[in-house]
Amino acid sequence: MTGIVPTKSQRQFWEKAARLYEDEIHEAAGYLEARGITPQAAAAARLGYVSKAAGRRHEIFVGRLAIPYLTVEGDVVGFKFRCVADHNCKEEGHAKYLGEEGAPMRLWGVDAFLEDSETIVVCEGELNCLSVRIGVGVPAVAIPGATSWQPYWHRLFDGYTEIIVVAHGDQPGRQFARRLTKGSRELPPLPNSRAVHMPEGEDENSILAKHGGETLARLIWDVTESEQSTS
């Protein structure tokens, strides 16, 4: 099991794994190119490909894209693994994303908090977050899934004058953005936040891949298409 504060040997394993997988990123080059993820952005995020597992507990991730979770200091503290095969994962009977057993819920891309910016974008999913960084050039972080928001993450966003929460063009995406910007029974609204809606059936990455960064940027900055938070 992986605690919230990993041991030294866990960290060493993750670092070793990240290096091994980074060296194999060429195996996922076609996938990344088709998704509009530039080699520079992939390298900065230390994306990798699991040709060979770094250890026995990573054997089930062979053939997947490795997405490391990095601390603000750049230490690897875990991974998500995405299937990059050209098929419908559901029909194949497996999950599009797999994580390590017992991994705690973490925000991805927390280096964004170090950037000198009054604006930050909150995305659902790591590759969507990368897409915003590539296409819009603004600091962005990702939550691992639409229902994974942790209340203590609120205070990480103190001091921003504009927090843009991107809603995917589906029901869970819209609910997530609404809950964050308007608040819910359990959660106060995120101050200075507004929701931005992707077109029906789309997310940040699909927009970037199909239409390019300018279209994605227009959607992100379009205030008339978004809902302001009440605070």
Nearer residue to Zn ion within complex by CB, 96 or 178: 96
Nearer residue to Zn ion within complex by CB, 65 or 136: 65
Binders of Zn ion: how many residues, by CB under 5 A?
3
Residue reference for tokens 């699991």: 50
Segment contacting Zn ion (CB under 5 A): 20-28, 84-92, 131-139, 152-160? Answer: 84-92
Single residue of 42, 67, 83, 220 touching Zn ion by CB under 5 A: 83
Nearest approach, Cβ of 63 to Zn ion (angstroms)? Answer: 9
What backbone torsions phi and psi does residue 196 show, to the nearest 5 degrees? -120, 130
Task: For residue 231, give both structure tokens.
Answer: 């605070």
Nearest approach, Cβ of 66 to Zn ion (angstroms)? Answer: 15
Rule CB under 5 A: say whether 164 interacts with Zn ion. no
Nearer residue to Zn ion within complex by CB, 98 or 217: 98
Closest residue to Zn ion, based on beta-carbon distance: 83
Nearest approach, Cβ of 89 to Zn ion (angstroms)? Answer: 3
Laid out side by side, the sheet with 193-197 consists of 140-143, 119-124, 162-167, 193-197, 226-228
Segment contacting Zn ion (CB under 5 A): 14-22, 24-32, 89-97, 150-158? Answer: 89-97
Rule CB under 5 A: say whether 29 interacts with Zn ion. no
Segment contacting Zn ion (CB under 5 A): 7-15, 22-30, 83-91, 216-224? Answer: 83-91
Nearest approach, Cβ of 94 to Zn ion (angstroms)? Answer: 6
Rule CB under 5 A: say whether 89 interacts with Zn ion. yes
Positions that interact with Zn ion (CB under 5 A): 83, 85, 89
